[in-house]
Structure 1
Amino acid sequence: MNTRHKWFTLALLIGSLLILPGCMTSTSVFSTDGAVIGQSFILKEGETWEDDLSIIGGSAVLEKGSIVDGDVALIGGTLMVEGTVKGDISAMGGVISLGSHAVIEGDIITLGANLTRESGSVVKGNFQNRIPDFSIPAQSPTPQVGIFETVMNVFWKIFQAFALGALAVLVALFMLQPLERVGTTMQFAPVQAGVIGFLTFMVGLGVLLVMAITILFLPLSFLGAVALGLAWIYGWLAAGLLTGEKLAELFHTSWSGPISAGIGTLVLTLIANLLGAIPCVGWVIPFVVTMIGLGAVILSRFGTQRYPGVIS
């Protein structure tokens, strides 16, 4: 098997892990640490899960009257809550849906996740939204009127898209060539970039979590999280630049680099927000794009070097 086929096979395995099992309705078999990996899990009415719950690339449904006596962690996937979570909910990517009977006694912490709430849901803790963030902003745990929440959600997502578009213009004004190298790597080596991005994301997240629980390495974990976040955003802006260039070709026109980056990032972010509203699978395409962007940033050393085999 040649190198190209190896990369392709590995990409298929990762894609199968993230995409195919996400919409299954069968109950998954837990490992000893309570993790749902690429499968689905249903905690039925009246049942209690007396431990922490982790969903990695899968889906979980907490039915009305069910109880999770611990924290819930979501890494790419879907979480539907109609029951009670006595701890915190932490999400990186994916979709969280709080039904009208949901009760969250802790905090909700999101990183690039999409959060929706129905009227009647209760969150006793605080909301923490961090960049890159496509989730619904919530200033208070008090449920809002449905129509008002919907309107505010739409305006917030539009604001986010314009903010990221403006950031793309600013970055392209000063770092256009490095941004182009990252975009070129995404275009001509998407499989390699996607695999490297996913591995960087998973390994980096694990290392940061281990470092964060030690007082000695806590400052380093913060710096590492900032570096990972910057790489994530940088890859998204490069994807926006690539999108803008394709749009210019589509309309048979020519835009400068900063204009292409701004328009492309605006359009890409709006599309990602729209896709995020699709149940079960809406998170997949934005997540794949971010993984490819993150991998391209790593392969091109933040755009400072041309990735071998890619024409810059």
Structure 2
Amino acid sequence: MTDKDTDKPNPAPWRLSVAPMMDWTDRHCRAFHRQFTRRALLYTEMVTTGAILRGPRDRLLEYGEVEHPVALQLGSSEPADLAEATRIAVALGYDEINLNVGCPSDRVRSGCFGAVLMKSPELVADCVAAMISAAGATRVTVKCRIGVDAQEPEEVLPAFLERIAAVGVSSFAIHARKAWLQGLSPKENREIPPLDHPLVLRMKVAFPNLTIAINGGITDLAMAERLLAQGIDGVMIGRAAYHDPALLGAVDHRLFGVGEPVAAEAAVRGMLPYIEAERRRGTPLHSITRHMLGAFQGRPGARAWRRRLSEGAHRPGAGPELVLAALGEIAEAPPMETRAASVS
């Protein structure tokens, strides 16, 4: 992406963001998503403070300059650890530090952070106050649910926002589905209970001075545009952006008013120098291309594209030439109408 408009300041990157997703939004994924959009805010996977303070910090927090604006999501319920991790992240140049108060997974729950913290707003307030004190001018934000378990979201969510805002947080990303921590798997919790987008929209009306982004069940840019038109400040897209990353290609043009749409072919070609550089560092190709499999979702040749990458990327020495060969499957695929005629 080379449009000169993308060099202009980006005052509202949260207008469209790609959600933090464990095992998915690593630095290779973000590098690919950045080929489609220069404006959207990209999030890391959730990283625990323990891993940062006592683990392979450099590997966990590494990112490329092209990824800006990029936010680090932290997982913890220990204010002192969050403050120290925030200081480290700020020194590394992250644009935002986000506290995870929304993930319902077993790993998160057993560590007493994530969505279970919705039950402890005072602790969350202590956590973010410590983060803010360590962050300087860097923005500290919270990603939360509308409630957990038997909580009544209409009562719990506004009280939660008010308490956390009181210590200085002005930006929230709200997943519009209650988290069930008992009786449902994280996978089941993606669909149950129902989403409540109207409740999140009402929170923007109730708290006009807060920046509120909505997350959960947003599948395309038309849906994002409808939500933005209703007054919400931002839209966070998760699985849809991962499984069909090409939808990000129109983000800058449609939601930020800059540049022209980016085709998946251009985004893939834009990754070739990155892939070559990573190969020289010893990064296996499949670590990168696993995030690119959905680039041509729904298009002729998409299955052949995925097959070529899946079968070849694990081979020693695989690099940009394999990606180009897989891209040839898209170029050679017959258009939809031709394929339909041949099938009939």
TM-score (norm 2): 0.27
Which of structures 1 and 2 has the larger relative contact order (alpha carbons within 8 angstroms, sep 6+)?
2
Higher strand share: 1
